[in-house]
Amino acid sequence: MRRVYLDNAATEKMLPCVKQAMLDAMDAELGNAAALHYEGWNAKKLIEEARVRVARLINAESEEIIFTSGGTEANNTVMEIFRGKRIVTSSVEHPSVLEAARARAGELVVLPVDRWGRVDTVDIEKEAKIADLVSVMLANNELGTIEPIKEYVKCCKKYNTYVHTDATQAVGKIKVDVKELGVDYLSFSAHKIGGPIGAGVLYVKNGVPYRNLMYGGKQEEGRRAGTSNILGIVGLGAAARWCWEEWSCRKWAEVTKLKNELKRRILAEVPYSSCNSPDEGCLPGILNMSFQAAEGESIQLYLDAEGICVSTGSACAAGDIKPSHVMMAARHDAEVAHSSIRLSLGLDTTKEDIERVMAVLPGIIRKLQGMSTIKVGA
């Protein structure tokens, strides 16, 4: 029996077309993309083809696309651009934004969020007046909440404040159009859209400030030093092409139906359960649930023993026994945070997968609640 993989928010399974594109690249006569010979030009051609495909996916210009090692590097680069400046961000950002901002900002403002993880536009408006950069994610990786970035941008542009959004969870799942959003910087990772781990994108709008994070060679038009990860970039390009040609957002709409069915059944069949993800304005595949008097890591381990893979939040925080900073910012309740798990569905999730989860989850929760010293229902 195949395992049920419900941790797609951490890493999407690699698309078959991505694997094939990378295998084809391995068999091609490729050299260093910076070299001035036949093999070098072949490599450069593949990189530029990928750049065009990525740009098309988010409606950018190809010269506005910088390839990175992933979303973390892309986010750190944006914070480096605004080193010593006044940076405004939210309390539910990915650590690669929060920690990078803490390390580089001259002054850092971390805005609170509501119970669903959304920033109040009033707060954005207030801070944008004196900020150099506002960085708020397009969609949250733990709750699935989609932020009204266009509204934030309108506030910021009144004061000529630059805007960055971490779109790692959003690209490929919902429509992401940099021109429509109006952002100056946008970042995402290949492995969240069925591409390989170790490749990412930083969109930098033409004409906005830029500063290198890494120095050395003149790769990426002098904006990101280091020998190009040709195979990773080829895989990223193939994933972007698939998302565009197959219009992956439409396919993800089908996932929403499965997610809603899973949520309905959990709330109906699992004792003392509650949902932390919003009903509206939520990513199609992410479902965050809490179970009173049942510890999240224990739920995860019991499910894993049954062949079901889920997570307790961000994969980058795996092994951290502290409650999720996202859950604490949204709910202000350590017990709720510790009792939460994230079930993130993917394009290959089936009704049978949902049935398997529901065949074992109620019993696991009852067992853990029976072992708990916390009074259930209190």
Catalytic machinery residues: 316
Q: Using CB atoms within 10 Å of the CB of residue 324, give its burial: 0 to 12 exposed, 13 to 18 middle, 19+ buried.
A: buried
**Cα-only R_g, the chain:** 21
351 vs 261: CA distance, rounded Å: 9
**CB of 288 closer than 8 Å to CB of 275:** yes
β pairing state of 162-166 and 185-189: parallel
Sheet holding 340-344, edge to edge: 273-275, 286-291, 340-344
**Pair 324, 314: CB distance under 8 Å:** yes
Strand partners, 287: 343
The alpha carbon dihedral of 279, 365, 254, 137 has a sign of positive
Residues 6 or more apart whose CB falls under 8 angstroms from that of 352 comprise none
Instruction: Report how far apart, in Å, the C-alpha atoms of 42 and of each of 63, 67, 117, 195, 226 are.
Output: 19, 18, 45, 21, 18
Q: Give start and end residues of each alpha helix (H) in 270-350.
A: 296-305, 325-331, 334-338
CA nearest neighbour of 288 among 163, 141, 182: 141
CB 304 within 8 A of CB 366: no
Q: Cα–Cα distance between 63 and 140 in angstroms, integer?
A: 28
DSSP string, 131-174: -SEEE--SB-TTT-BBP-HHHHHHHHHTTT-EEEEE-TTTBTTB
